[in-house]
Amino acid sequence: MEKPLPSPVSGDVEYLTGMTLGAYLDLVRERFPELHRDLRFDRAGAARALEQLTRLFNEFETDDPESGRGDSYRRAQQHTAVRLTGIRRLFELAGGVRELRRLPASWRVLDLLAGDGLLARALLTLAPQVRSGVISSDVARHMVSSALAAELPALRQDARYLFLRDACVDAVVLAYGSHHVPPGDRRAVYLEAARVLRPGGRLVVHDFEEGAPSARWFSEVVHRNSAAGHAYSHFTEADLRRDLIAAGLGNHQVLRMYDPFVMRADTREKAVGQLADYVHDMYGLTALGRGGADREKVRAQVWELCEDCFRFGPDEGPSDGGSVEWRRSPAVYRSRDENAWIAEIPRIALVAVAVAAA
């Protein structure tokens, strides 16, 4: 089969670490033919986008001591269940279904900030009937390589310019990191999402609301304690709506969704300790361990920071479904139906669901 390459670019350009674009296309053609069919590296502007990718490195590549948290981020994501409450809801919203078992086997969703494929792995357990439903897309080389190594269909591209054909997916998800896209570029991401959505398909945008506890976590805790810092702007409902409308996605709703961190273990200490490790690794809070603090002390510090930050007033809860049980501050409790302890840190996310014109 022919390689869909842009005319000024040869397959020799390095696309992933140690892998040329030509080798990547061969691999995808062999292992993920459905994705290969939809790839368009010969779109107008693709050569420039590829050239920009060669110069792009972000904090999610490795644990570079100056500016990275990629390895520790991926270590945390081995706990696939911690964010399952929010991930399940995102898939329900993306699929327009109340229960994920209603998703058709052929359903396809593009995860634009996929990291190493957490959402794809989650969908395999939440809706096993959906065969290879999630295309994991990310700009970081190591994230894409990890997803491919886990046998997930994945590609390296910037959310602002997609190497995919028009109208090829049922849904697009921009979640768990949308603030990494600068405010002035978000509209371009929505335009690209609208282009690759089939008519009537859905775009779900998820982030945290500027000034709310879940966003202050980043500006007040992550920014001070991680090597890379965290100088990113979060979202406001007004800007989100304005940019969606400008991208032709005026048919949308905005809601606030419960999106906690949840860790289960057989003792109270393990549940809290493992959740503190998860948060420490995910956000690369390396400054907390400096000065020789031992592991238990770092865990206690992380938990205390979470207790200080993640506190919600009665009016700051989810607007998404009146029956959602949610906690207003971090808690550790014994589960009613399992013989397990649960450590839970509440977060409230701002979410928009837009429907592409039919």
Ligand X SMILES: C[S@@+](CC[C@H](N)C(=O)[O-])C[C@H]1O[C@@H](n2cnc3c(N)ncnc32)[C@H](O)[C@@H]1O
Give the residue ranges of DSSP H helices in 109-217. Answer: 118-126, 141-149, 186-196, 213-216
- Sign of the torsion formed by the C-alpha atoms of 115, 255, 191 and 104: positive
114 binds ligand X (CB under 6 A): yes
Q: Is 113 in the site for ligand X (CB under 6 A)?
A: yes
The reply to whether 229 sits near ligand X by the rule CB under 6 A is: no
Nearer to ligand X, 110 or 140 (CB): 140
Q: Binding string to ligand X for residues 136 to 175, with x set by CB under 6 A, is what? A: --xxx--x--------------xxx---------------
Residue 161 CB, shortest distance to ligand X, in Å, is 9
Q: Give the integer Cα–Cα distance in Å for 205 and 109.
A: 13
Q: Closer to ligand X at the Cβ: 178 or 302? A: 178
What long-range pairs does 85-88 form, CB within 8 A, spacing at least 24?
Answer: 85/258, 85/259, 85/260, 85/262, 86/206, 86/257, 86/258, 86/259, 86/260, 86/347, 86/349, 87/118, 87/119, 87/122, 87/126, 88/122, 88/126
Distance in Å, CB of 209 to ligand X, minimum: 17
263 touches ligand X (CB under 6 A): no
CB atoms within 10 A of CB 45: 9
Considering beta carbons, is residue 56 or 105 the nearer one to ligand X? 56
Q: Applying CB under 6 A, does 176 fall inside the site for ligand X? A: yes
Please say which residue, 21 or 341, places its beta carbon nearer to ligand X: 21
- The least distance separating ligand X from the CB of residue 139, rounded to whole angstroms, comes to 4
260 binds ligand X (CB under 6 A): no
Angle at 38 between CA 37 and CA 44, to 5 degrees: 125
Query: Do the Cβ atoms of 284 and 223 come closer than 8 Å?
Result: no
Cβ proximity to ligand X: between 158 and 281 the closer is: 158
Span of 115-123, 216-224, 234-242, 283-291 interacting with ligand X by CB under 6 A: 115-123
Nearer to ligand X, 36 or 79 (CB): 79
Q: Which of residues 56 and 287 has its CB atom nearest to ligand X in the complex?
A: 56
The distance from CA 216 to its chain's CA centroid, rounded to whole angstroms, is 19
Helical ranges in 164-312 per DSSP H: 186-196, 213-216, 223-225, 237-246, 268-283, 295-309
Taking the complex as a whole, the smallest distance from the CB of residue 191 to ligand X amounts, in Å, to: 14
Kindly list the residues in this chain that would bind ligand X in the complex (CB under 6 A).
58, 60, 77, 113-115, 118-119, 138-140, 143, 158-160, 176-177, 180-181
